[in-house]
Structure 1
Amino acid sequence: MTPIAPLDRSAEAAYRALIDGKAKPLGALGRIEDLAVRLALIAGRPDPGLDRALLLVFAGDHGLNEAGVSAYPSTVTAAMVATLLAGRASANAFARAVGAEVRVVDAGVAADLAPHRLLIEAKVRRGTRNAAAGPALTAQEVELALTRGAAIACEALQDFDILAVGEMGIGNSASAALVLHRLAPAPLDDCIGLGAGHDAEGLARKRAVLHQAAARSDVSEPRDVLGAFGGLEIAMMAGAILGAAAAGKPVLVDGFIASVAALAAIRLDPASADYCIFAHRSAEQGHAVVLSAAGAEPLLDLSMRLGEGTGALLALPAARAAAALLTEVANLDDVLSGTP
C-alpha cells in the first residue's frame, strides 16, 4: 500500500492565527477551531472544501455468529444491504439530510448480491470462519481485504473531498471486541457490549464464546489479529482508512466497529491517525476503550449504537462548519474598521 505522509505542521501556527483573528472571542468555538486547523493541515491550504462527501458502508458476515454471539441471524446482513441499496435505511435518510452520497461495499457477505449501481463488489469470501474454532481469515485474505479497501478509498476520493466509513454485519461487534482486546490491549470483558441488542442470557453466551475464541490464540500484531478474529468489513475499512490517509483526505470514523477498524489502521501505520476524525461516542461499552487506545476525542455524544455510518454522517455538518470558519467568517480587524 502507498506510504502515508505525516502531516506537515509547519503552517499550524499560521492557521491558528487565522482563526484567532476571526470576528469572535479567542477560543469561543472550542474544538471546532481545533478541527478547522486539522482540516487545513490535511488539505495543505487554508480553504479545505468539503462539499463532496461519500459514505462507504462495508458489509460482511461472521462465522462467530454460528455460536450465537448475535441476537439476529446472519441472513439479516444481506437483507439490510438490500435496504441500504434501496435507499431506505437510517444511513440513507441521514445522508440525504446532510448532503452525502452512499455506496455499499460487499467485503464478505455470505450471500450472492445482485449487481446494483450503488454496490461495490469486493467480496473476499462468503463470511469469515468461526473464530472460536480457528482463524477467521488466512493471511492472504487479510491482505486482500486491506488492499481492496485502500484501492476503493483512493478511487472514490478522486471525486469526493471527505470519506465517511461505516459497516453492516451481523455479529461484527463480537469480532470487533476480540480485535480491540488484542490491539488496545485491554481486558476482553471491557470490550464486549450488547451489540445489536442482547438480553442478559445472550450477553453471557456472547462473553463465553469470545473468551473461548481469545484463548485459542495469543496473537497481537495487527494483521495477525485481523486474521485470527476477522471480520472482512473491519479489515477492509482499515484498508480504506489507510488509503484515504495516503490520498491526503480526511476520514469520518463512525462508532464502535468502525473505530476498531481505525485502531487497526493506526496500528498498521501510525501516521493514519492524523487523518481520522472520530465522529461520535457510541453507547456500545467497548467504544470508550477504543477511543482511549486511539487517543481520540469524538465530536458528538448522542447515545447512538446503530452503525451503518450514521454517526459519521451526523458529524459531517460539524466538519463542514469547521472548514467554513476558515473561509467564510469575517476577520475581526475588518469588523472593527466597519468593512465586514
Structure 2
Amino acid sequence: MITTTKNSELEARLQHKIDLKTKPVGALGMLEKIAFQIGCIQQTETPVITRPTIVVFAGDHGIASKGEVNPFPQEVTSQMVYNFVQGGAAINVLSTTNDIHLKVVDAGVNHTFDKDIAITHAKVAMGTKNYQHVPAMTLEELKTAFQHAETIVTDLHKEGVNTIGFGEMGIGNTSSASLLMSYFTQIPIATCVGSGTGLDQNGISKKQRILSEVYQTYNIQNPTEALATFGGFEIAMITAAILKAAELKMTIVIDGFIVTAALLAAHAMQPNVLDYCLFAHTSNEQGHIKMLDFLKVQPILSLGLRLGEGTGAALAIPILRASVNFLQEMASFESAGISGETTP
C-alpha cells in the first residue's frame, strides 16, 4: 500500500523554512518546489539525497523481430547491453559525470548473456510475444517480472539508496509505450505514436496504422491486463519498481516516454505513487508532453532528448541535490543578520 506524503504541519514548516532563506520569496523557482516535495517524501525539514541510482531495464519485443515499426534490428538491444557493461553509452557517461550509481538488468532480452557479465540477471523470457497476434506476455510472466523488480528495488533500499531513477533499452518499446499511453489516457493511438529511434514520416504512418490495428484487436479490462497485452518485460519491471520504490518512500526520478508509460500503469494501480515522483525532462518523442499534461506534472528540464536509457534522470539528479542542499545549507535572514525579512 502506498501512502500519501501529505502532512499539513510538516508542509507549513518546510514552506516557512524555504521562504526565510536569504532570497526573495520564490526566487529559486523550481528548486524550491523540488526541495519541498523531497522534504514531504522523506517527512523531514532536512532531506538528503543518498546513493542516487539509475536502474536500466532491458527487454526485447516480439513485434520488433519483423522490423515493421523499428528502423533498428532487434539485435541492437543486446548489443547496447554490452555497451552499458563496457561503459560506452550515454547513460554511463552521464552517471559517471554526476556521481550516480548504475545498475543494468536483463528483464527479457532475446540473447543469452554469460553469467559472469556485470548485469543483474532477471530474464523472464527471451523477449515478449508479438502482440499483433497474441498478448505480449502471460499474467504469470507479468507476475514474475513484478517480483524480480520488487526484489531489485528492495535490495537497493537496504543498501541505503533513497533516490532512484529508471531507464530502459528495448528495440520496439516506443510502440508498447504508445499503446499503453493510449489505453491509460484515452488519447487516440495515432496521436501517441512518434518516430521512436528515428522513423521518417512514412515509417511513422505505417507504425500508426499497425498499432491502431493492434489496439482495436483487444478488449482490455484493467491496468494489469494492459501491461500484459502491450508491455515489454522492461516496462513491466519499471512499473513494479516505481510502485515498490514509492512503498519504500524513495524519491523517484521519472525519465522520458517509456518510463512515463510505465508510470501511467503504476498510477492507475496506485494513484498516490505520484507524490513520490519528480519528472526529469520533456522528451522530444511527441507523446511525452501529452503524458505529462495528463498527469498534470511539470518537468524539470527540456533539452530535446529522446534517447531513453535514463539519461534525462541522470541530468536531473544534480538539480535534486542542489535543491536539498540549498534547504540544508543556505542561511536564513535571521542567521545571516540580514534585514528586510522577519519571522512571522
With the length of structure 1 as denominator, give the TM-score of the two structures: 0.96
- Tell me the residue number matched to 2:125: 125
- Tell me the residue number matched to 1:6: 4
Q: How does 1:249-328 map to 2 (within 5 A)?
A: 249-328=250-329
Shift of 1:218: 2.4
Establish whether residue 35 from structure 1 lines up as the match of residue 34 from structure 2.
Answer: yes
- Tell me the residue number matched to 1:72: 72
Letter in 1 for 2:45: P
- Tell me the residue number matched to 2:45: 46
Q: Equivalents in 1 of 2:32, 2:131: separation in Å?
A: 43
Letter in 1 for 2:87: G
Letter in 2 for 1:221: N
Deviations 1:32-60 (A, max 9, x none): 11110110111111222114111100100
Q: How does 1:1-340 map to 2 (within 5 A)?
A: 3-10=1-8, 11-67=10-66, 68-116=68-116, 118-159=118-159, 160-336=161-337
Secondary structure in structure 2 of the residue aligned to 1:157: helix
Q: Equivalents in 2 of 1:278, 1:116: separation in Å?
A: 34
Q: Select between 272-281 and 199-208 the one with higher mean Cα deviation.
A: 199-208
Q: Kindly indicate whether the alpha-carbon contact (under 8 Å) linking 1:131 and 1:230 is maintained by their aligned counterparts in 2.
A: no
Shift of 1:116: 4.5
Q: Equivalents in 2 of 1:48, 1:109: separation in Å?
A: 37
Q: Equivalents in 2 of 1:337, 1:72: separation in Å?
A: 60
Identity over aligned pairs, percent: 37
Letter in 2 for 1:9: N
Q: Equivalents in 1 of 2:290, 2:147: separation in Å?
A: 27
Q: Equivalents in 2 of 1:127, 1:336: separation in Å?
A: 62
Count the aligned residue pairs. 336
Q: Kindly indicate whether the alpha-carbon contact (under 8 Å) linking 2:58 and 2:105 is maintained by their aligned counterparts in 1.
A: yes
Secondary structure in structure 1 of the residue aligned to 2:158: coil
Q: Kindly indicate whether the alpha-carbon contact (under 8 Å) linking 1:281 and 1:300 is maintained by their aligned counterparts in 2.
A: yes
Q: Equivalents in 1 of 2:281, 2:57: separation in Å?
A: 18
Shift of 1:114: 1.7
Shift of 1:141: 1.2
Q: Equivalents in 1 of 2:115, 2:45: separation in Å?
A: 41
Q: Equivalents in 2 of 1:190, 1:17: separation in Å?
A: 43
Q: Select between 7-16 and 300-309 the one with higher mean Cα deviation.
A: 7-16
Letter in 1 for 2:22: A
Structure 2 unaligned blocks of 5 or more: 340-344
Q: Equivalents in 1 of 2:116, 2:189: separation in Å?
A: 39
Q: Equivalents in 2 of 1:261, 1:22: separation in Å?
A: 37
Structure 1 unaligned blocks of 5 or more: none
Computed over aligned residues only, the root mean square deviation of the Cα atoms, in angstroms, reads 1.3
Q: Kindly indicate whether the alpha-carbon contact (under 8 Å) linking 2:13 and 2:45 is maintained by their aligned counterparts in 1.
A: no
